[in-house]
Amino acid sequence: MASGQFQKSDLEAVLKNFQDPETGRNVVETGQVGQISIDGENATLQLGLTTHSAPLQDIVREELQALLTANVAGLKHVTIQFVEHHRAPQPLGQIGLKAKSVIAVGSGKGGVGKSTMAAAIAFGLKRSGCSVGLMDADVYGPSIPHLLGLSGRPEVVENRIEPHLKDGMPVMSMGFLVPADEPVVWRGPMLHGAITQFLRDTNWGELDYLVIDMPPGTGDIALTLSQLLPLSGAVIVCTPQDVALLDAVKAIAMFRKVNIPVLGMIENMSGFISPDTGQRFDIFGSGGAKKRAAEVNTPFLGEIPIEIDIRKLGDEGRVGEVFNTPSGAALAEVCVNVARQLAVQARETPLGPQLPVLG
């Protein structure tokens, strides 16, 4: 087969139209294109992706292959080899948190599995290779310590709070500071102070993602957070029944009011699949969240059934293992969809050569 029907430069010209999922800038300009080799009708190319984009490898591969084969005449197949591209996070806001994306996980009401989903998103992104922190801002009913099996006051070293680590993931919660059986009575300024301290004075290290488990319903913590640093977006967890959906729509409106973009909705407890027969029972109805998400112009991120193992793992402090349950694949898909929505945002509003330092 005669080579030379297309050149490296032909591929490079097309690659200029491909946006890095993290920054939305073209991958040639950002220096993410490595070696390109051509063998007849086939090509191999190295592409650098940051660990922030790790959940999107399969999607990037497919999109890039489609773009190149459609636009480079004579190119039949291209193999993409990923290499790690390092790009340090810039400090965010006045508090200087070093995280690339900050994701708030909220719900209209309690008990819908918000904390379980927040933890699952954190563990799922970490499983893909991202560096992740998990912050429990559900100050009225912190359940992250219970779900992760963590307890005890974090150490303070040189005025910095050392977060608890779960499988190497830093975790911070009000539940570490107040006994589990004591109600938390907070006034607004105290709450503001506690949340500020969690973000500013905790040794989070350099993060790709900080996942924040929000208190259900109310807007004060969301407002506090949005004043402290730019939040990348909110994920809304709801169950399929109508009353829960109404509250979820209110939560979406609340996030939009404080200018936090809504990344999408997760329908949790979406049907029960009988472990013995495999038959599905739609206890709370089905498809409600997907329909409602479309009505309020919000992406739908996926549905997770009610599963005995998810509840058990939560009660045993092993929520990080939910990916080993039959719903593991659906949960992994939710994580990819969250990362994908952030990439959509970056594509629409590419970040400059310097990531924004707000404050």
- Strand ranges, E, within the chain: 33-39, 42-49, 77-84, 91-92, 97-107, 132-136, 156-157, 160-161, 164-166, 169-173, 207-213, 233-238, 262-273, 280-281, 300-306
Between helices 328-348 and 57-71, what is the axis angle to 10°?
50
* 107 lines the binding site for ligand ADP (CB under 6 A): yes
Residues paired with residue 81 on neighbouring β-strands, in sequence order: 46
Q: Where do we find the tokens 């910095």?
A: 160
Query: Residues 111, 188, 356, 359: which binds ligand ADP (CB under 6 A)?
Result: 111
* 268 lines the binding site for ligand ADP (CB under 6 A): yes
Query: Residues 45, 112, 235, 254: which binds ligand ADP (CB under 6 A)?
Result: 112
Residues paired with residue 235 on neighbouring β-strands, in sequence order: 105, 264
Instruction: For residues 232 and 161, give the distance between their C-alpha atoms in angstroms, rounded to a whole number.
Output: 24
CA distances from 244 to 136, 219, 261 (A): 22, 17, 21
Query: Residues 21, 89, 113, 154: which binds ligand ADP (CB under 6 A)?
Result: 113
* 234 lines the binding site for ligand ADP (CB under 6 A): no
* 317 lines the binding site for ligand ADP (CB under 6 A): no
What torsion do the CA atoms of 302, 308, 310, 314 make, to the nearest 10 degrees? 140
Q: Is the Cβ of residue 25 or residue 318 nearer to ligand ADP in the bound state?
A: 318
In the complex, minimum distance from the CB of residue 182 to ligand ADP, in angstroms, rounded to a whole number: 18
How many residues bind ligand ADP (CB under 6 A)? The answer is: 17
In the complex, minimum distance from the CB of residue 339 to ligand ADP, in angstroms, rounded to a whole number: 21
Closest residue by Cα to residue 176 from 156, 150, 202? 150
Q: Which two tokens stand for residue 105?
A: 């996980």
* 22 lines the binding site for ligand ADP (CB under 6 A): no
Say which amino acid occupies 266: I
In this structure, what DSSP letter does residue 19 have? B
Query: Residues 30, 32, 51, 115: which binds ligand ADP (CB under 6 A)?
Result: 115
From 62-70, 113-121, 277-285, 295-303, give the range in contact with ligand ADP by CB under 6 A. Answer: 113-121
In the complex, minimum distance from the CB of residue 120 to ligand ADP, in angstroms, rounded to a whole number: 9
Site for ligand ADP in 269-298 (CB under 6 A): 269
Query: Residues 14, 211, 293, 310: which binds ligand ADP (CB under 6 A)?
Result: 310
* 122 lines the binding site for ligand ADP (CB under 6 A): no
* 311 lines the binding site for ligand ADP (CB under 6 A): yes
Note the residue count of the chain. Answer: 359
Instruction: For residues 99 and 91, give the distance between their C-alpha atoms in angstroms, rounded to a whole number.
Output: 7
Q: Is the Cβ of residue 199 or residue 238 nearer to ligand ADP in the bound state?
A: 238
Instruction: For residues 34 and 31, give the distance between their C-alpha atoms in angstroms, rounded to a whole number.
Output: 8
In the complex, minimum distance from the CB of residue 25 to ligand ADP, in angstroms, rounded to a whole number: 37
* 114 lines the binding site for ligand ADP (CB under 6 A): yes
In the complex, minimum distance from the CB of residue 335 to ligand ADP, in angstroms, rounded to a whole number: 15
From 196-204, 283-291, 310-318, 349-357, give the range in contact with ligand ADP by CB under 6 A. Answer: 310-318
- The alpha-carbon radius of gyration of the chain (Å, integer) is 22
Q: Is the Cβ of residue 24 or residue 219 nearer to ligand ADP in the bound state?
A: 219
φ, ψ for residue 157 (rounded to 5)? Answer: -120, 120
* 307 lines the binding site for ligand ADP (CB under 6 A): yes
* 306 lines the binding site for ligand ADP (CB under 6 A): yes
Find out whether 173 and 208 touch, Cβ atoms under 8 Å: no
Per DSSP, the three-state class of 195 is helix
Q: Is the Cβ of residue 47 or residue 104 nearer to ligand ADP in the bound state?
A: 104
Query: Residues 91, 110, 149, 287: which binds ligand ADP (CB under 6 A)?
Result: 110
In the complex, minimum distance from the CB of residue 305 to ligand ADP, in angstroms, rounded to a whole number: 6
Residues of this chain that bind ligand ADP (CB under 6 A): 107, 110-116, 143, 268-269, 304, 306-307, 310-311, 314
